[in-house]
Amino acid sequence: MDKKIKKFLDTLLENEVLDQKVYQNIIDFEDNNNLSQKSKVARALTLIGGFFVLSGLLGTLPLIWANLSYWAQLMLLIATTWFLFYAAGYSQQIDKEKLFIFKSSERISSFLYLVSTVSLTAVIVFMLNILENTSSINIPEDIAILITSTIVLIYSGYLYKVTFEIFQHVTLFYSLIFFLGSIGNLFLRNVEPWGIGLFIATVGLIWGLNTYSNLLQPSWLGYFLSSINVAIGFVAIIEDLLSDFEVINIIILIAGSLLYIWISIQLSEQVIFYIGGLGLIINLPRLIAELLPNNIWPPLVLFLVGGVLVTVGLYLNSLRETLGKDS
Amino acid sequence: MKKKSTLVQSLLILLISVVLVALYGVIPLPDYNTEINNEIEGAIYYLVDIQSSNLIPPAPDILDECIFKIDISITKIKETKVICTSDLYQYSSDIYLNDSEIDENQNIVIRYYDNVLNSQMALIIDTKSNVTSKSKIESLSTNQSMYELNSRGERLLSRWDMQDTSARSAGIYYQKNSTIVEVFSIEAPTNYYFESVKWAQDGESIVALDTENDIIIFSKNKMFDPIKLIIDNYYSSEIEDDERVIYQLIGWSN
C-alpha cells in the first residue's frame, strides 16, 4: 500500500474516525487487489526495458536510416508503430504509480499512443510513396494527404475512445483539423483568409459544444482548444475583412474578450477567462494608441493592464474560495 | 441523447460554414490564353531550383540550381538547359546564380567569388555557342536595369510597390514620371500575385512569373491578351525524379 495512504489510515484509526474492523477491511482489500511485489517488479522491468528499446531504436535509426532501402525503412516504421501500440496497451494495465516524469501509468500509455500516432502517420506516408514509386499507380499529392489524414483521424478517434487522456484529446483535435484541411485543399482551393478563419472558428465552436455536452474530456482542455481556435478564427476574419477600419476592428476584439470573460464565469472555466483576459491586455493598449495622443498612452496602458491583472487575481481568489466552501 | 444532438448541431454548423466559404470565400485563379502570338519573339531565361522529392516531408533538399531558356518564337516551346551550378564548381563553390543577368551582347553574366584570386569575378556564357569565359567584374558592361526600366524611362512596379491586401486582385503596373499606368489587372485570390516582372528588350512587352509558377507575357499597350506559356520541360535522367521550381526570371533577349 502507498505509504501516504497507510499513514492517513493510521491517523484516522488513532483519532477513532475508523474502527479497527473497517481499518483491517481496507488493508485487506488493498492487499488483495494490488499486484504482488514480484508482479510489480516484473512489469516495471518490462516497462523500463521497453523504454530502453524505444530510446535505443530512436538513437540508432538516424544513424542507419540513409543506408536502408525503402522497404527496410517501412518495415522498421511498422515494427516501431506496433511496438508503441503494444507497449501503450500493456502499460495501461499496470497499477497506478509514478514512473520517470509521468504521473501515472495512464499518462505513460497516453504518451506512447501519441508517439504511435506519429509513427503510424509516417508509415502511411511511406507506404503511399513506395506504392507510387514501385507501381504504375499515380496518387496525386492531395489524395495522398486525404488518405493519410483520414486514417490518422480514425486512429486518433479510436485511441481517444480507449484512453480519454489529454494527449489523445489534443491528437484528435489536430487530426480533425488535418482532415478538414485536406478536404478543403481538395475541393475549396484558393480560399480567402477570412474563409480559413471561419473554418478555424467553426471547428473551435464545434469543439466547445461537444465539450459542453461532456463528449470530450477533460473539459478544461476542450474549452482551451475551443476558445483559442474561436479567437484565432475571429481575429483572422476581422483582420481580413475590416483591415481598413482599425478602430472598429479593435473594438470588436475587445467586445469578444469581454464575451469570453462572461462565458468563463457562466461555465466556471478558468482557461476561457485567461484567453479573454489576454485579449483585453493586448487590445486595450491598441485602442488607446489609436484614439489618444502618443504621450498619454504609456501610463494609461499601465493603468489598464494593471486593472485587468487585479481583476484576474480577484476572480481567481473568488473561485478558490468558492471551491473551498464547496469542498 | 444530448451528445448525439450536439454532434448533429456540430455537423450543421460545419455545413453552413462550408456553404458560406464555397459561395463567397473562394476566388478562382485567373484564366489565360495559351496560344502564342506571332508578334512576340526572342528567348526568356529563368532560374530553376531542382529539389529532391523526399519520402518524408516537410523540407525538400535543393540539389542544384540551373538557368533554363525557352525560345518563344516557335509554337511548341521547349525548355533547354543553359548551365547549372554543379557545372561551375571548377570555378568556385560560391556561385551567385540569382544575380545572373544578360549583357548587351545577349550573353549571360554570372557572378562568383574566386577563392584563388580572392576577388569577385564573372563568368560570361555565350548563349549561342555555350562557351564560358572568365572576366573581372570591373570590365563588365551589363544592362540589368533595362529589365526593370525600359528605354522610355518606364519603370515596372513590383508587388511590394503596389501592395493592397484588401484588393483581391493581381496586376502589372509601370510608372512613368509620376504617373502609374495599369497594364493588366484581374480578380484573383489574395495569395496570387506576379513576381520577377521584366521588360522585353523592345520595351513593348512584359514577362512575369506568377505564384502558380507559370510564365505569363503581357502587352504594354494591350495589343494582345496575356499569354500563359505552356512549356515542354527539359528532360534529363539525372533530374527525372526531382521537383523543379522556377523562382526567378532573368530576362528576355531578342
Q: What is the pLDDT of residue A160?
A: 92
Strands B215-219 and B227-228: antiparallel
Which residues of chain A have a CB within 8 Å of the CB of B192? 190
More confident residue, A176 or A319: A176
Write the single-letter amino acid at B179: T
Check pLDDT > 60 for residue A45: yes
Q: Dihedral angle at the C-alpha atoms of A5, A9, A10, A15, nearest 10 degrees?
A: 140
Residue A220, judged by CB atoms within 10 A of its CB (0-12, 13-18, 19+), counts as middle
* Partners of B174 in the β-ladder: B156, B181
User: Is the CB of A173 inside 8 Å of chain B's CB atoms?
Assistant: no
Count of structural domains, chain A: 1
Q: Is residue A65 part of a domain?
A: no
Better pLDDT: A65 or B25: B25
Question: What value, to the nearest 5°, has the Cα angle with vertex A87 and ends A84 and A90?
Answer: 150
Beta strand pairing call for B119-125 and B132-136: antiparallel
For strands B194-199 and B231-232, give the pairing: unpaired
Residue of B nearest to A187 (CA): B22
For residues B77-82, average pLDDT: 85
pLDDT score recorded for residue B147: 62
Q: How confident is the model at residue A105 (pLDDT cuts 50, 70, 90)?
A: low
CA-based angle B118:B122:B128, to the nearest 5?
155
Residue range A179-188: mean pLDDT, rounded = 88
Angle between helices A70-92 and A105-134 (to 10 degrees): 160
Q: Residue A47: which residues within 8 A CB-CB, separation 6 or more? A: A87, A90, A91, A94, A99, A108
* Residue A96 within any structural domain of the chain: no
Helix (H) or strand (E) holding B215: strand B215-219
Chain B residue whose CA is closest to A241: B166
Q: A195 vs A229, A239, A318, CA distance in Å?
A: 14, 12, 40
Which has more pLDDT, A83 or A327? A83
Q: Is the pLDDT of residue A265 over 60?
A: yes
Structural domain harbouring B151: 43-253
Cβ neighbourhood burial of B203 (10 Å; 0-12, 13-18, 19+) = middle
In-domain check, residue A111: no
Helix (H, G, I), strand (E, B) or coil at B120: strand
Q: Is residue A147 part of a domain?
A: no
Label residue B143 by pLDDT band (50, 70, 90): low
A277 within a domain of the structure (yes/no): yes
> Cell 475583412 maps to which residue?
A241
For residues A246 and A66, the model is more confident at A246
Host H or E run for residue B170: strand B169-176
How near does any CA of chain B get to the CA of A135, in Å? 14
Smallest Cβ distance to B13: which of A125, A206, A243? A206
Shortest Cα distance, chain B CAs vs residue A112, angstroms: 21
Helix (H, G, I), strand (E, B) or coil at B67: strand
Identify which has the larger pLDDT, B179 or A205.
A205
pLDDT of residue A227: 93
Domain that holds residue A294: 252-327
Per-residue pLDDT, B166: 57
Does the residue B189 lie in any domain? yes
pLDDT range class, residue B54, cuts 50, 70, 90: low
pLDDT tens-digit map of A204-245: 999 999 999 888 888 899 999 999 999 999 999 998 888 888
Rg (CA), chain A: 26
A283-311 mean pLDDT = 75
Inform me whether the C-beta atom of residue A126 falls under 8 Å from chain B C-beta atoms.
Answer: yes
User: pLDDT: is B242 or A170 the higher one?
Assistant: A170
Q: DSSP state, B59?
A: P
The three-class DSSP label of residue B183 is strand
| Lowest-confidence segment of A123-127, A196-200, B242-246 by average pLDDT | B242-246
Kindly report the pTM of this predicted structure: 0.73
Query: CB-CB: which of A198, A214, A243 is closest to B165?
Result: A243
Residue B123 in contact with residue B134, Cβ under 8 Å?
yes
pLDDT for residue B144 is more than 60: no
Q: Give me chain A's average pLDDT, please.
A: 82
Structure confidence by residue, pLDDT tens digits, B1-11: 577 888 899 99
Q: Percentage of chain A surpassing pLDDT 70?
A: 86
pLDDT greater than 90 at residue A56: no
Number of compact structural domains in chain B: 1
Interface contact flag, A195 B21, Cβ < 8 Å: yes
**Could you tell me the end-to-end alpha-carbon distance of chain A, in angstroms, rounded to an integer?**
26
The pLDDT score that the predictor gives to residue A97 is 57
Q: Are strands B77-84 and B231-232 parallel, antiparallel or unpaired?
A: parallel
> What is the C-alpha to C-alpha distance for residues A122 and A77, in angstroms, rounded to an integer?
7
Instruction: Give the pLDDT band (50/70/90) at residue A51.
Output: confident
Statement: residue A25 has pLDDT above 80: yes
Residue B161 Cα, gap to closest chain A Cα (Å): 18
In a domain, A266, yes or no: yes
Averaged over A157-182, what is the pLDDT? Answer: 91
